[in-house]
Amino acid sequence: MTGDYTINRIVDHLRDADSFLHAGKISYKFNITRFLPDNTVDIGTAVWLYKERRFCTDKISKNVNCKTLYDGQDTFTISKREGDNRVTIVSGNKGLEYPPYVMTPFYPGPCFMMGRGLSLFPDLKVVSTNPALAVLATMEDGSTFTAELLPDQDFLAKSIIWRNNQDNVIRSWNLDSPVTCNQGPLIAAHCVQVCVHCDGNISTHADTAITEASCFTPNNSEFEFVLSPELQVLDRRSNRPHSVVQKCITFP
């Protein structure tokens, strides 16, 4: 492999691509198997509408139909299962309990599911250029993220591996099927994400395929979240009454 793969050049490419993906809409199909605590399979579709770290989602699967809105402060979730029709409200920290670079379960915008999001790391370094270009980010807890990049495809990630401070794999993303998003950067349309339990066994296997990705800045009115009267409300925010104050919630 030849080329000027300095870390500054790589980070510039990654930042440009991630900036283009800062707002928009993602539709995808998913097939998720959770091996722990017991084998469960969830198959369905989901749509994310997002901007400025706020988002609303509509997820339909054989197990549950779920709508979620994160307004920058609180997370509102309507979960419809058989015999269950309620909305749960939790604080924003509960809704986004991981740092943004972890992108869990499927964070919108420039994220690992799309082969993007690496520019969110505060420090990257090149660890290999032969036979493949790879970069490494080290976290404060000693865990590391290693990503194999494709320089001839807008430095799209081909794989990302997260290891703990004992060098054991925690999670991995294998990515393929590059497509162009709105005549902008390439993204991975297919992702296989594997989560590994501390005992070394696979805990979750998630296969996702993006069916549509559009980059644009939605209007706040598009993030409307209507609470119908028949919904039961479980408000988990501290010092909040267990009732619906607003019938229609939108971004401030």
Quick check: 184 and 170 in contact, CB under 8 A? Answer: no
* Global model pTM greater than 0.95: no
What pLDDT digit, counting tens, does each position of 43-79 carry? 999 998 888 767 888 889 876 788 888 776 777 777 7
* pLDDT digits 0-9 by tens, 154-195: 999 999 999 999 999 999 999 999 999 888 899 999 999 999
- Tell me 245's DSSP state: S
First CA to last CA across the chain, in angstroms?
A: 49
Distant-in-sequence, close-in-space partners of 52: CB < 8 Å, separation ≥ 6: 22, 23, 72
The string of pLDDT tens digits covering residues 107-121 is 556 688 899 988 878
How large is the average pLDDT for residues 138-164? Answer: 93
Q: What is the pLDDT of residues 20-49, one digit of tens each?
A: 888 888 999 999 999 977 788 989 999 988
Question: How far apart (Å, rounded) are the C-alpha atoms in residues 225 and 242?
Answer: 18
Q: Say if residues 251 and 221 touch (Cβ distance below 8 Å).
A: no
Q: What pLDDT score was predicted for residue 194?
A: 94
Q: Specify the range with the lowest mean pLDDT, choosing from 4-8, 14-18, 96-100, 184-188.
A: 96-100
What confidence score (pLDDT) does residue 210 get?
Answer: 94
Calpha distance 19→24 (Å, rounded): 11
Domains along the chain with CATH numbers: 7-249 (2.50.20.10)
Which tokens in the block code for residue 224? 């409307």
Residue 22, SS3 per DSSP: coil
pLDDT tier, 103 (very low <50, low <70, confident <90, very high otherwise): very low
Cβ contact 159:145 at 8 Å:
no
What is the reported pLDDT for 241? 47
What is the 8-class DSSP label of residue 184?
Answer: S
